[in-house]
Amino acid sequence: MQTRSKIDGGILAAKSKCFKRLEKFVEDKSTNRVRYVEVDQAQGQRIDNFLLGLLTGVPRSRVYRLLRKGEVRVNGGRVKATYRLREADRVRIPPVRMEVRGEGAVAPVPRVQARALASSIIHEDADLLVLNKPAGLAVHGGSGIALGIIEALRQMRAEPGLELAHRLDRDTSGCLLIARSPSALRELHAALRERTVKKRYAALVHGIWPTKRNTVRLRLHKYVTPSGERRVRVSDQGKPSRTDFHVVATASRATWVSAFPHTGRTHQIRVHAASSGNPIVGDSKYRPDALRAMELELGIDGLCLHAEKLVLPFRGDWLKFVCSPPSAFVSAWEALS
């Protein structure tokens, strides 16, 4: 755990680097020139993340619009936001209007958030950071969020190369892997693609989960509501998805279960639980509104889903990380019991 002086020092160093990079880019913009960047250390990184790190001060929505319209090109051709950069790739960066607001162009990490993140680190080595992610913090910025976990850590630690190996929903707590090098990121992504990473989640669900319901296989389809909210539903046109469930403990009106996702679909555990008749406690997206009053009466305010354990192959060895559920999760179980 870092001391406050180290955190503050990291913030100042990161801000200094960000401002220098911003000043350099604004200088390039003033000449209205297209820039070309040859990839070296960023190899293996997604092009959208690469641009978000490079174009400090440019709105996230603008960066994705540049990609959609083909204004950003790699080796002369269009690429999708998910394209992974390779060594010696040549990236075309068009002139971009910066949102320069003096020092406000780089939002400092609030001290409360900095302390929470510093204390949530459970493992650190030359390749990895592992966090017991607090519930309520988004893993990346966007949609009105100035600083997500990854942007905050880059700034706090003066490590612009930090990258998320995977994601957790904003309201989900637990084990979160962050790569500190392109080679580590590539290896982690390969393990995730090959499904050799084993995940265990702790969840509290409404009602009594049948002990014989060990596996849920339902195809899941992502969609966007008219208000712009991202949702997932069960659909024959969706992608195959599988979650295994194991009952840990049963109370009069709720069940503590372990969930083991075999696929990594958006909101998979939440939708599989809700569609089986046992929605996750505190899930405002997928649990019936009728259960909200009971949750509020018991003082439960938050999603009771926690990424409890990760086991993965890395650098020729097997790593295991376990994150204890937060106090709010345990308190919710006590209230339901």
Encode 241-260: b = buried (16+ Cβ within 10 Å), e = exposed.
Answer: bebbbebeeeeeebbbbebb
DSSP state of 291: G
Report the number of secondary-structure helices (H) and strands (E) in the chain: 9, 15
CA–CA separation, 328 and 298 (whole Å): 12
Task: Note if 169 is an active site residue.
Answer: yes
State the pLDDT at residue 96.
Answer: 77
Instruction: Give this prediction's pTM.
Output: 0.71
List the beta bridge partners of residue 37. 91
Going along the chain from its start, the domains and CATH numbers come out as 4-93 (3.10.290.10), 111-179 (3.30.70), 196-336 (3.30.2350.10)
Q: Are 115 and 1 a contacting pair, CB within 8 Å? A: no
- Three-state secondary structure readout of 55-78: CCCCCHHHHHHHHHCCCCEECCEC
Q: Are 87 and 41 a contacting pair, CB within 8 Å? A: no
Strands 305-314 and 317-322: antiparallel
3-state secondary structure at position 134: coil
CA–CA separation, 164 and 157 (whole Å): 15
Token pair listed for 249: 């403990």
Residue 64 burial (CB count, 10 A) = 16
What φ, ψ does residue 317 adopt, rounded to 5°? -135, 175
Among candidate residues 48, 89, 169, 283, the one labeled active-site is 169
Task: Tell me the pLDDT of the chain (337 aa) as tens digits.
Answer: 444 344 344 434 444 444 344 334 333 433 357 888 777 655 677 888 888 877 766 778 888 889 998 999 999 899 998 898 887 788 898 887 654 444 444 568 888 888 999 999 999 999 999 999 999 998 887 656 667 899 899 988 888 889 999 999 999 999 999 999 989 999 999 999 999 999 999 999 999 999 999 999 999 999 888 877 889 999 999 999 999 999 999 998 999 999 999 998 999 999 999 999 999 999 999 999 899 989 999 999 899 999 999 999 999 999 999 999 999 999 999 999 8
State the pLDDT at residue 40.
Answer: 63
What φ, ψ does residue 111 adopt, rounded to 5°? -60, -35
